Amino acid sequence: MALTHIVLLGPPGAGKGTQAKQIIEKLGVVHLSTGDILRDEVGRETELGTTAKGFMDRGELVPDQLIIDMIRGRIEAASSGFLLDGFPRTTAQAEALSQFATIDVVLNITLHRDEVVRRLTGRRVCRSCGKIYNLTFNLKEGQTACEACGGELYQRDDDKTDVIENRYDVYETSTAPLIEYYTKQNVLRTLDGSLGSERVFAEIIDILTA
């Protein structure tokens, strides 16, 4: 039987969102991306979105308690299983998560800083369906619309070089300690995110269905 309580860990641009879309199609678990939920709150100009926007635009983390309050109910409601993408991101978030959910596996996707910057400056995202593209390998010259739904492709506000560098620093300081945290719990599996996305996906499915 496949593992269904899954965490995706890794630096910005490692491919968490790209892999998540394929994993949920294959396993039927709920995709819970704190970044996507926050961007939706920002777009709707809610109180949470207005508070979060400044942190996100600077590439800093949104305060732990706001994130935990935002995600807890969604995780508890995911009776067919969940794929957490971008959460937990600090030890405090991981400890809070352990109070209300068990985790089967943490998929730690690695990627060096230089490649993170290269990928994220070239990322474009569909405003309607969220499909993720990259100028270097799957966008045609001059393409501005999503091939899946025709939606407008845009560049995220935090995909500017200086903000990307800050996000990577924040990852190293605040999130990378979770590698040791989950290694000690015997649930961490590491994947080389510099490989092609089909190869990474195949390795993930092997882990989840072994």
Q: Which positions are catalytic?
A: 16, 89, 123, 156, 167
Nearest CB to ligand AP5, comparing residues 17 and 29: 17
- Closest-by-Cβ residue to ligand AP5 is 35
The footprint of ligand AP5 (CB under 6 A) covers 10, 12-18, 34-35, 38, 55-56, 59-62, 67, 86-87, 89, 93, 119-120, 122-123, 132-134, 158, 167, 193, 196-197, 200
How far apart are alpha carbons 198 and 26 in whole angstroms?
A: 13
Nearest CB to ligand AP5, comparing residues 1 and 141: 141
Nearest CB to ligand AP5, comparing residues 1 and 191: 191
Left, alpha or beta for 202 (phi > 0: left; psi -120 to 50: alpha)?
alpha
Among candidate residues 151, 117, 157, 150, the one with its CA nearest the CA of residue 134? 117
HSE, side-chain direction, 13 A CA sphere, residue 8: 30
H/E run at residue 8: strand 5-9
Structure tokens at 128: 């309607």
Write the DSSP symbol of residue 5.
Answer: E
Q: Minimum Å distance from CB 80 to ligand AP5?
A: 22
Q: Minimum Å distance from CB 58 to ligand AP5?
A: 8
Q: Minimum Å distance from CB 88 to ligand AP5?
A: 6
Q: Minimum Å distance from CB 97 to ligand AP5?
A: 10
Nearest CB to ligand AP5, comparing residues 1 and 65: 65
Q: Minimum Å distance from CB 16 to ligand AP5?
A: 3
CA-CA distances (angstroms) from residue 103 to 6, 16, 88, 142, 188?
6, 17, 11, 43, 10
How far apart are alpha carbons 23 and 159 in whole angstroms?
A: 24
Nearest CB to ligand AP5, comparing residues 1 and 108: 108
Cα 97 to the chain's mean position, in Å?
A: 16
Rounded to the nearest 5 degrees, what angle is found at the Cα of 185, between the Cα atoms of 19 and 29? 35
